[in-house]
Chains A and B, each alone.
Chain A
Amino acid sequence: MVEHVGSTNPECVLDIRGLTKSFGTNVVLDGVSLTVERGKTVCLLGPSGSGKSTLLRCVNFLEKPDQGSIYLSGRRIGMREGGVIPMSTSELAQARARIGMVFQHFNLWPHLTVLQNLIEAPIHVQRRSRDEVVAEAEMLLERVGLTDKKDVFPNRLSGGQKQRVGIARALAMKPELLLFDEPTSALDPELVGEVVAVMKTLAEGGSTMLVVTHEMGFARETANEVVLMDGGRVVEKGQPSEFFTNPKTDRARQFLQRYVSA
């Protein structure tokens, strides 16, 4: 097999090829391929246990895939060019810093204020100047509507506010790609809207996003492409207008029925 050097498409920010991952005998990813182009939002849908979160976590090597390759803007992630030698921890850390991640349970740093959460990694990982980073962080907090909370510690925030901080924290890294791992699943229903609203402005503002979600409304209105996963495989992908009104596979129809009736 010929090892591709990145993607031939320069607009391709994320290129996942033939990814497999097993936990023991449990096959979680069974040859998944997927691309996300610059400025596009791709939503990963599927029942729980279908492998979507694992796929997301493989992108920045929080989980190490067994086989397959991942390219970020044409550069291999996790393995050195050639795909035989794994990246050193320092190379991996540098690669991870190019990808922003938003977690289901927010995963904010509790010992730091909201502003400190935003500037921590840009200053101490990316080694950018503090003044520049603080100014940008303040703008980001304004964008997510949390300027008045900048000196507050995370445990004083509501879930929706925490997640908006989580998003701003990811943006502060100026990432090439944003990963969202079920960003609204841990929220009370009345708080989902404020987070989805922020994600919509990001998508419309040209961020490149890969989103694992159960928010069908968001996927339908905002995604450029939806990808349905089941049993560790991609079973259908397409434009949301097609996918939601005229799914091609039985599996997609079943999945949608459950969500429409629920």
Chain B
Amino acid sequence: MAKRIDVSGLSAYYGNHKAIDDISMTVEPRSVTAFIGPSGCGKSTFLRTLNRMHEVTPGGHVEGKVMLDDENLYGSGVDPVAVRRTVGMVFQRPNPFPTMSIFDNVAAGLRLNGSYKKSELKDIVEKSLKGANLWNEVKDRLNKPGSGLSGGQQQRLCIARAIAVEPQVLLMDEPCSALDPISTLAIEDLIGELKERFTIVIVTHNMQQAARVSDRTAFFNLAAVGQPGKLIEIDETERIFSNPSVQATEDYISGRFG
């Protein structure tokens, strides 16, 4: 159900511009790994290389290896579409399909992957919405459009949609930055529950959030504007926030820059 990610020597480009340089790291299964760092340091770009969403951007391409257990996501003969079915993603702004009902939103990924009986579909949708702590709020209006929910509910709907297809890994790109504190808390609690089943990688600008939800934290930085972003260090979250091994990390954590 949850797989280990092993990245080695990964660089990503937008056309000729190198956005991230030579990143290697391991993401442990059934844990939460947080990416922190100043804006433009490439943490979101790096996240998007993990499910091959980076190359959707015109000119985007990648060098290096991303191993999901023992399979290289960038190997020849790997279908990026199949990768994205295995590695789910939640975005910064909640993006439920506006024309679909709540039910259809959650079922969307399942319908792409194959045919399900109506009863099966109903069970999975219920299970996913319960998994996203949204079931009690929406069970009476599953046929209403998803865009009618509040921002926090929409984001949980997107999480339900992502986990409905039982991915190996769940990537979250600043999932709470468009939400109010109460919705943020709900999502953070949910992340704590989801890590029992999935490998979770979360990009966040909020260091308290990284400290609260993650087991391991990776700090990214860039030498100067226009330079590619680099991984400075990755370690146990507790260590990163108390006694990091690199000075730049400590400066960032303690608010001396960034």
A binds B: no
Binding site for A on B (CB under 8 A): none
